[in-house]
Each structure stands twice: as structure tokens, then as C-alpha cells.
């Protein structure tokens, strides 16, 4: 199924508009640097279906990682299965992309510190995540239940039989505070 044949649903879809998302990521990355990043080394954390890595590989030298392989797009980039601890040397990447990943990891501080560790000085980080304060929770397609404490939210999802995975939603302020000492 390609991006033009994905049925429209309210909220978040992991397969819709991947090319436009990759273009958006690339534009934001390039807007935050004064020099050309053409062929710069880019780490894409949380490959998912691989489409964003594939599109970014047209502009960057992409290495992509995930804890499992769910790719349907595999061309143009190197892929590794790894843990949350990244298997790369310090200051290895010019750009790190973490697109809707941090809410899925078990240790958000480790996720951020690993990004900071592998990023070159003056490198660029693109980190996107749903804001916990947004009224619509995009993973489960429910309103306001995620405002409850996390354990209660997860229990309710199990009770209404839509639970798939633990989410650790955070606010902009929590993310900013967690990253302040690292970046």
C-alpha cells in the first residue's frame, strides 16, 4: 500500500504521508544549519516501515535503527536492529531524527542521552512526539483519557480492550527540562 492509497482516518497513521513528512523533516533540519548537510551522516531512530529513512536517504547518508524490523521500504539506507543503547561511537552523526519514538521507549532519559552522545558538536536533532496535553491521543484514537495518570490510562485501555503497548506521553515542558542538560 503506498501513501496515496491509505484510507483516511482521524488522528495518526504510521503509513500516510511519509514522503511529505520526510520533506518536512529535511526542511526543518536544513533551516537549523548554516552549512550544507547534503550527504551528512543522519541517524533515524525508530525506523518503523522505513519510508522516512528511504526518502531522507536521497539527501543524507542514512543509518536507521529500530528494536524490531517492520520495514516495507528497505532501499537507500543502512538498517540495524539494536537496543535503546546505540551501537555507535560518540559524536558520530551530523543529524539525529527521533520521529514519534520517545513516547514508546522505556527510558526516555537514556533515549535523550544517547542522542546527545552520538551527535556531533553543532549537530542537529529533529525530535517529534505527541504532546500529552493535546486533547486527542493519536495512538489509541481516544480523547482526554491520557490526561489520567499513566498507569490508570494503560489500565483503562486494557479494560476497554484496545491496549497494544505502553505509552509514556510527555509534555513540551517535560521534554525541554529533560533535554536541557544534554543539548
Query: Which single residue is written with the C-alpha cell 483516511?
Result: 8
Dihedral over Cα of 23, 29, 35, 36: its sign: negative
Question: What residue has cell string 520526510?
Answer: 22
Q: Which three cell numbers stand for residue 111?
A: 533515549
How far are the Cα atoms of 1, 74, 87, 143, 163 from residue 57, in angstroms, in the given order? 21, 11, 20, 36, 34
Q: What is the DSSP string of 50-113?
A: SHHHHHHTTTSEEEEEESS---S--SSSEEEE--SS--S-TT-EEEEEEES-TTT-S-HHHHHH
Query: pLDDT (tens digit, 9 = 90+) per residue, 27-85?
Result: 999 898 877 788 899 999 999 999 999 999 999 999 999 999 999 999 999 999 999 99
Q: What is the pLDDT of residues 81-111, one digit of tens each?
A: 999 999 999 999 999 999 999 999 999 999 9
The whole-model pTM stands at 0.88
Report pLDDT digits (tens) over 113-169: 999 999 999 899 999 999 999 999 999 999 999 999 999 999 999 999 999 999 999
CATH topology of domain 18-131: Rossmann fold (3.40.50)
Q: Domain segments of the chain: what residues?
A: 18-131
Amino acid at each position: 500500500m503506498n501513501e496515496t492509497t491509505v484510507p483516511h482516518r482521524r488522528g495518526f497513521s504510521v503509513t500516510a504521508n511519509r514522503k511529505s513528512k520526510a520533506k518536512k523533516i529535511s526542511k526543518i533540519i536544513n533551516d537549523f544549519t548554516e552549512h550544507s548537510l547534503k550527504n551528512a551522516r543522519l541517524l533515524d531512530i525508530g525506523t518503523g516501515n522505513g519510508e522516512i529513512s528511504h526518502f531522507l536517504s536521497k539527501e543524507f547518508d542514512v543509518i536507521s535503527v529500530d528494536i524490531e524490523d517492520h520495514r516495507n521500504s528497505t532501499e537507500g539506507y543502512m538498517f540495524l536492529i539494536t537496543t535503546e543503547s546505540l551501537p555507535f561511537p560518540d559524536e558520530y552523526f551530523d543529524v539525529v531524527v527521533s520521529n514519534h519514538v520517545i513516547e514508546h521507549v522505556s527510558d526516555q532519559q537514556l533515549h535523550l542521552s544517547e542522542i546527545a552522545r552520538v551527535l556531533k558538536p553543532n549537530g542537529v536533532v529533529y525530535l517529534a512526539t505527541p504532546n500529552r496535553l493535546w486533547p486527542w491521543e493519536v495512538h489509541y484514537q481516544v480523547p482526554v483519557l491520557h490526561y489520567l495518570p499513566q498507569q490508570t490510562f494503560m489500565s483503562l485501555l486494557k479494560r476497554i480492550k484496545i491496549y497494544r503497548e505502553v505509552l509514556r506521553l510527555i509534555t513540551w515542558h517535560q521534554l525541554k527540562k529533560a533535554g536541557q542538560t544534554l543539548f
